[in-house]
Each structure stands twice: as C-alpha cells, then as structure tokens.
Structure 1
Amino acid sequence: MDDILMEEELFGPILPIVTVDNFDDALEKVHSLEKPLAAYCFAHDKKIINRWVTEVSSGGMCINDTIMHISPETLPFGGVGESGIGAYHGKTSFQTFSHYKSVMDVGTPQFLLKKRSAPYSNDPANSAQFEWLLKQ
C-alpha cells in the first residue's frame, strides 16, 4: 500500500493485487481510501459478494472479472467522489449531458397571494387588500 503507484488512480495495464487476512480487512482497506472508479471482487460466496456490492461505494463494479462492466452500453459508466461525477453510455449519456428544467405553474398571482400571504384566511372580506395589490 506504500508503493507510489497506490497514490493516484490507476488506469491499466496495471492492476495491483493487495493481500489481506480476511474480508473485513479488505473492506477496511477500501474504506480508508478515496472511492474508486471501479471495484472488483473475486469470490464464489454469495454473502461475500453481497457485502462487497452493498458496502463498497465505487463508480462501477465487476464480480469475478475486470473492466467488463464498461462494455455494455446499457450499463452506465462513471465515477463517484474523487473519481468523477456523472455517468455515460447509451441513455445515461443523454441524461448526464441534458438539463432537466423544473417548471411549476400554480395558477394566477391572485392564487399565490391569497394562499401564501397573511391574513391566511378564506374569508373574502380579508382578501380586499390582495385585490388592490393585483390592480397595481
């Protein structure tokens, strides 16, 4: 873990292998570092795999293989934290590079004034001041 290669995010062809005594030690090591762009787990035990998937935050993940999670265009690819934000591939690319604009139409200004301003009453006698404001 002290090697200079472990100081920055790696992009192949180098894949460091770090040995640990048990799975909890592996999780502890992963959690001590920045969130990775990809996290790989090689295991047959479904409990180990499920823990890896639920307890490790990463941009992408591949179980019992490496890098193949970026191949299908139907799977989003991208990072979290230091490894980046957003994702791309297929429909996800369109969503990432699109801006969704929120528009709320609540009716006429009179509706807004009556519902949001004092005297908070449905009594028509109290709404005369709002009618005056609307005419200004």
Structure 2
Amino acid sequence: MIKQGYQRGLLCGIILLLIAMASCGEAPRPEPSHLKTEDDYIKPLPGPSDTIAATTAAKGEVLIGYSDCATCHKEDQRSVGPAFQDIAKRYPVQDVYIKYLAEKIRKGGSRSWGYAVMTPHETLTTAEAALMAAYILSLRQRP
C-alpha cells in the first residue's frame, strides 16, 4: 500500500516536471500592465524645480561613486532599482524632496518603484545623503 502511494506520488512529480519543462519554451509573457509606459513607471510629481549648484551636485556624485549605489542603480537605465534619471524625472528639485530622498537613502525602503527593496545606509550622515539626493535630482537639469 505504501509502495503504491509512493509510486503515484513519483509519477505525479514526473508529470509536473515534464509540464514545467514544456512550458519553458513558451513565448515571453508581456510586462505587467503597471509597467507598460514610462509615465506609469515614473509617475512624475507636479511642481516647479529649483536649480542645484554644480559644486553641490559634484559632491553628491563623488559620494555616490564611493558608495554601493551602483550595485542596484545606474544613471540612465533601470537595474535592480530605478535609474537615477528616472528618479530625477519623478521628483521636482525642491528642498522637501531632497530631504525625503535623503531619508529614503538613509533608512532604505520599498514599493516606491516596484518590489525591489533598498537596504538602509545608516552610516551616511543626513548631510551626505542630502548631497547624494541633490546630485540625483540635478540630473533633471541636464539637456
């Protein structure tokens, strides 16, 4: 009786494995509807933008260069996290958003850009994180 149950379980497992292997050759599935357009992905916030001084942006760029940001972010294309340029398109250059992004950098978070989770960077000071956020938002000013 046990042997017969074992054989049925093994047979079911083999059938499921064959079905799974056969489905691997299917055409790729379309992206989820919430990622279909750039506007849906970026969700730009309204508001005027200030300018960021070149020296401030340069300091932030150096801090990002020495951090682990490049592990998950690229300047102009999505990776594990959003591209820096996409972040700059979403948020107007305003102090409130620089502070908000600085806190996100320090505390980490998720669900702002999908399901990826950003690890906290609590060793950064608030001022350092603000410089990094300012650099990211300065990308909005580029032609």
Specify the structure having the higher radius of gyration (Cα): 1
With a CA cutoff of 8 Å and minimum separation of 6, indicate the structure with the bigger relative contact order: 2
TM-score (norm. length: structure 2) = 0.21
| TM-score w.r.t. length of structure 1 | 0.21
Query: Which structure has more helix as a fraction of its residues?
Result: 2
